[in-house]
Chain A
Amino acid sequence: MGATCPIPIDEYPTVVMAHGGGGRLTQMLIDKMFVPAFGNPALAALGDGAVVEANGARLAFSTDSYVISPRFFPGGNIGSLAVHGTVNDLAMCGATPLYLSAGMILEEGLPMDELWQVVQSMQAAAAGVGVPVVTGDTKVVDHGKGDGVYINTAGIGLIPAGVNVSPERARPGDVILINGDIARHGIAIMSVREGLEFETTLESDSAPLAELTARILQTAGEQVHTLRDPTRGGLASALNEIAGQSRAGIRLVEADIPIRDEVRGACEILGFDPLYVANEGKMVAIVAREAAGEVLATMRAHPLGRDAAIIGEVVADHPGRVFLRSRIGGLRVVDMLSGEQLPRIC
């Protein structure tokens, strides 16, 4: 990499929102700028967290920043989300989460009471998963230069012996499972965004998944090939990443993907494809076919997997691409999200 910017600046002279949307532009930043700049094998694996070795132990290490607006939403707030998100990234590496850090970037003028609510819910979430926040940092920025509160969390976890999950391990013949209904987090957030308040009892699915992944790994061990939490960019983006990294194809069956009626209805009205809408308590497990039944039963036995389902399979055909069989039997490609999903005109 030379001194010139690797992002074609005639196309993107400035950062646009879609660079953070989890879709194709985010991917371009990562592939063209960050990975070459920081070049090392642990980063290049591009898992939900890095897997590194220290003194013979395999550690998972992950970080995530939370800038969500609004800060409080049905089913959680930025504090609980900051804990669940990073814990889940560790869990998707097959790790038992151990410790978290918290970096708080506060805007001058943020009501102290709101900060206290955020901190309390962070603490409750951390205690709930038994992962303490053991170090932190506080910065305050001028009024108008932040959006109340941004939180960065980082976490480390230990990967037990006999666990080996990574996107590359997805292989033809594997079965794809999800632990429940998709797109709830994104729609719950949309429902309270300024300008779009619509009445719903829908809550975010934000939840810690480490216990569920631990049970799945106990059940099926090395037959669990890939775990991924389909957050930003939704199920479609997560599966496209896996298809790209494993160089295998993915086939989904639309009618088998769990989704709540309220969520489908909101997506119909807004013109969103729920496959691209964010989740915060969902995980995709790609497992050897002979383990699929057991993993499904394990998921369904857990409160966070009651609506678990088999939604597709890994195939040798169309490597790197995700195809979906539509409800009426047609076939289409499910591509990586390009730009942001924008509500349509009519």
Chain B
Amino acid sequence: MKYVDEYRSEADAKKFVAAIHNITTRPWTLMEICGGQTHTIIKFGIDELLPKEITLVHGPGCPVCVTPLELIDKALEIARQPEVIFTSFGDMLRVPGSNTDLLSVKAAGGDVRMVYSPLDAVKLAQNNPDHEVVFFAVGFETTTPPNAMAVWQAQQLGLTNFSILTSHVLVPPAMEAILGSPHNLVQGFLAAGHVCAVMGYWQYPPLAQKYNVPIVVTGFEPLDLLQGIYMTVKQLEEGRAEVENQYVRAVTFDGNQPAQKLIGQVFEPTDRPWRGIGPIPASGLKLRPEFTAFDAELKFDVTGITAGENPVCIAGEIMQGLKKPHHCPAFGKECTPEHPVGAPMVSSEGACAAYYQYGRAEVRIKE
């Protein structure tokens, strides 16, 4: 398949693997930010091909994983309302709240629908004026522009029966939280290519400088990741800490400016709690005051719901690169994709799901 197979060539992968082996002289710990990158690494067995000195740890870039438990509980509460059509991307449907998940609310009679774009939810609101249509708007800078567009369109259309339950989060503050932690192990970052396609990478040079850490904007195909790893290791070995762009076919320094402008029109920065990690200052986005009519949390009065995490789950440590999924005592035992204890076991981007689904621990024994 054109534009995909070029980035999955076994011959080229071997060249990069050999090049990485050639330049590596010391142990290095790199973090890929995005869960999509984690899945490529595990699905294609990239980590198995690297020199043993290189450790890849898996970052917090999984929207499903970092959405706070109490927000899921709020979603469940709203979805149970008889007048509500609750819409969401597919992989949020299975994330467990404190007691249940959206698929179970659907099974019990709630009108929960999977959509592929928030604009489809706006369309649903137009076509169902006697229902309240709520869209579960979570995710990073990648999903923010379409959600901003949905709210903006709903306002233009004068819709009063559309709202979003939102918990948008931002990558750079999370990177800073990881780097600023006294326990930090991460020496180099593979930045999330898709986030940078929207935001550019103008936010990263101050981080690279302040924490003396190389940051390489990296894509999602196997060769992208191998090249990103090569570029990061090369910087580390040469004692450089710069921002470089591996994903040149999709990312520019400035990013998608109309998208950034729209985000700024609809949302504003706010402190956000990250599931498993805790509160990070100015790490999220909330609706600006002129759009609060579209805020489902206010509309349905669920602001008072709070929730406590299952203490067994070590998702927070995994997403900060301190531990790996199979280090968790619950991994593959009480926590499986059928019975996820924590969100990283649910999402198609969660590190735990990747380790479980692709049998990472088993493969290691076999090879």
B363 on interface, CB distance cutoff 8 Å: yes
> Does B367 contact A331, Cβ atoms closer than 8 Å?
yes
CB distance from B60 to the nearest CB of A (A): 14
- State whether A345 and B339 are in contact (beta carbons under 8 Å apart), knowing that A328-B45, A335-B357 are contacts in the complex: no
Q: Which residues in A have their C-beta under 8 angstroms from that of B10?
A: 255, 327-329
- State whether A329 and B94 are in contact (beta carbons under 8 Å apart), knowing that A11-B339, A338-B337 are contacts in the complex: no
> Does B49 contact A346, Cβ atoms closer than 8 Å?
no
Total residue contacts A-B, CB cutoff 8 A: 131
* Complexed CA–CA distance, A271 and B357 (Å): 14
B142, B339, B348: residue with the most chain A Cβ atoms closer than 10 Å: B348
CB distance from B102 to the nearest CB of A (A): 11
* Complexed CA–CA distance, A339 and B348 (Å): 12
> Does B358 contact A346, Cβ atoms closer than 8 Å?
no
> Does B107 contact A268, Cβ atoms closer than 8 Å?
no
> Does B139 contact A338, Cβ atoms closer than 8 Å?
no
* Complexed CA–CA distance, A334 and B108 (Å): 32
> Does B337 contact A328, Cβ atoms closer than 8 Å?
no
B133 on interface, CB distance cutoff 8 Å: no
CB distance from A270 to the nearest CB of B (A): 8
> Does A343 contact B90, Cβ atoms closer than 8 Å?
yes
Interface string of B186-199 (1 = CB under 8 A from A): 00000000100000
* Complexed CA–CA distance, A326 and B9 (Å): 11
- State whether A345 and B63 are in contact (beta carbons under 8 Å apart), knowing that A331-B366, A332-B359 are contacts in the complex: yes
> Does B366 contact A343, Cβ atoms closer than 8 Å?
no
B42 on interface, CB distance cutoff 8 Å: yes
Q: Which residues in A have their C-beta under 8 angstroms from that of B202?
A: none
Pick from A16, A196, A321, A346: contact of B139, CB under 8 Å: A346
- State whether A344 and B349 are in contact (beta carbons under 8 Å apart), knowing that A329-B10, A339-B337, A339-B338 are contacts in the complex: yes
A130 on interface, CB distance cutoff 8 Å: no
A330 on interface, CB distance cutoff 8 Å: yes
* Complexed CA–CA distance, A232 and B46 (Å): 30
Tell me the nearest residue of chain B to A325, going by C-beta. B45
B104 on interface, CB distance cutoff 8 Å: yes
> Does B89 contact A344, Cβ atoms closer than 8 Å?
yes
Interface string of A244-273 (1 = CB under 8 A from B): 000000000001000001001100100100
> Does A332 contact B358, Cβ atoms closer than 8 Å?
yes
Q: B328-360: which residues lie under 8 A (CB-CB) from chain A?
A: 336-339, 347-349, 356-360
* Complexed CA–CA distance, A11 and B337 (Å): 13
A3 on interface, CB distance cutoff 8 Å: no
Q: Which residues in A have their C-beta under 8 angstroms from that of B103?
A: 16-18
A317 on interface, CB distance cutoff 8 Å: yes
Interface string of B204-245 (1 = CB under 8 A from A): 000000000000000000100000000000000000000000
Q: Which residues in B have their C-beta under 8 angstroms from that of A321?
A: 359, 362
- State whether A330 and B46 are in contact (beta carbons under 8 Å apart), knowing that A345-B64, A346-B63 are contacts in the complex: yes
A171 on interface, CB distance cutoff 8 Å: no
Pick from A17, A18, A271, A329: contact of B45, CB under 8 Å: A329
> Does A331 contact B48, Cβ atoms closer than 8 Å?
yes
Q: Which residues in B have their C-beta under 8 angstroms from that of A150?
A: none
Q: Which residues in B have their C-beta under 8 angstroms from that of A318?
A: 362, 366
> Does A344 contact B347, Cβ atoms closer than 8 Å?
yes
> Does A329 contact B363, Cβ atoms closer than 8 Å?
no
A316 on interface, CB distance cutoff 8 Å: no
B140 on interface, CB distance cutoff 8 Å: yes
> Does A333 contact B359, Cβ atoms closer than 8 Å?
yes
Q: 5 closest A-B pairs (Cβ-Cβ)?
A: A330-B45, A333-B359, A342-B90, A338-B337, A328-B13
- Interchain Cβ contacts under 8 Å between A and B, 8 examples: A11-B338, A195-B120, A255-B10, A261-B1, A328-B49, A332-B363, A335-B356, A335-B357
Residues of A that sit less than 8 Å from B by CB: 11, 14-18, 24-25, 195-196, 255, 261, 264-265, 268, 271, 317-318, 321, 323, 326-333, 335, 338-339, 342-346
Residues of B that sit less than 8 Å from A by CB: 1-2, 4, 8-10, 13-14, 36, 42-46, 48-49, 63-64, 89-94, 103-104, 107-108, 113-116, 120, 138-140, 142-143, 194, 222, 336-339, 347-349, 356-360, 362-363, 366-367
